Amino acid sequence: MQTRIAGVAYVLGDNVDTDQIIPAQYLTFNPAIAAEYKMFGKYALAGVPDAAAGLPKGHVPFHPPGADEFVSPYTIIIGGKNFGCGSSREHAPIALAAAGVTAVVAEFYARIFYRNSVNGGYLVPLESKARLIDRVCTGDKLVIDIAAGTLTNETSGETFELHPLGEVAPIIEAGGVFEYAKKVGMLPA
Domain boundary assignment for the chain: 4-183
pLDDT computed for residue 135 by the predictor: 95
pLDDT tens digits for range 101-141 = 999 999 999 999 999 999 999 999 999 999 999 999 999 99
User: Is 65:72 a contact under the CB 8 Å cutoff?
Assistant: no
pLDDT computed for residue 50 by the predictor: 55
pLDDT higher than threshold 70 for residue 146 = yes
Residue 146's identity, in one-letter code, is I
pLDDT higher than threshold 80 for residue 77 = yes
pLDDT computed for residue 51 by the predictor: 45
pLDDT computed for residue 64 by the predictor: 86
User: Is 162:129 a contact under the CB 8 Å cutoff?
Assistant: yes
Q: Using DSSP bridges, classify how beta strands 150-153 and 141-145 pair: parallel, antiparallel or unpaired.
A: antiparallel
Q: Does domain 4-183 have CATH number 3.20.19.10?
A: yes
More confident residue, 67 or 76: 76
- Cβ neighbors of 163 (< 8 A, separation 6 or more) are 126, 127, 128, 129, 149
Q: How far is CA 57 from the centre of its chain?
A: 19
User: Is 93:122 a contact under the CB 8 Å cutoff?
Assistant: yes
pLDDT-derived band at 56, boundaries 50, 70, 90: very low
Distances (CA, A) of 54 to 41, 101, 116: 22, 20, 24
pLDDT higher than threshold 80 for residue 161 = yes
pLDDT higher than threshold 70 for residue 54 = no
pLDDT higher than threshold 60 for residue 144 = yes
pLDDT higher than threshold 90 for residue 2 = no
pLDDT tens digits for range 12-52 = 999 999 999 999 999 999 999 999 999 999 999 987 765 44
- Cβ neighbors of 77 (< 8 A, separation 6 or more) are 9, 10, 12, 83, 96, 101, 103, 104, 105, 106
The percentage of the chain sitting over the pLDDT mark of 90, rounded to a whole number, equals 79
Q: For the chain, give the mean pLDDT.
A: 91
Mean pLDDT over 62-87 rounds to 93
User: Is 163:29 a contact under the CB 8 Å cutoff?
Assistant: no
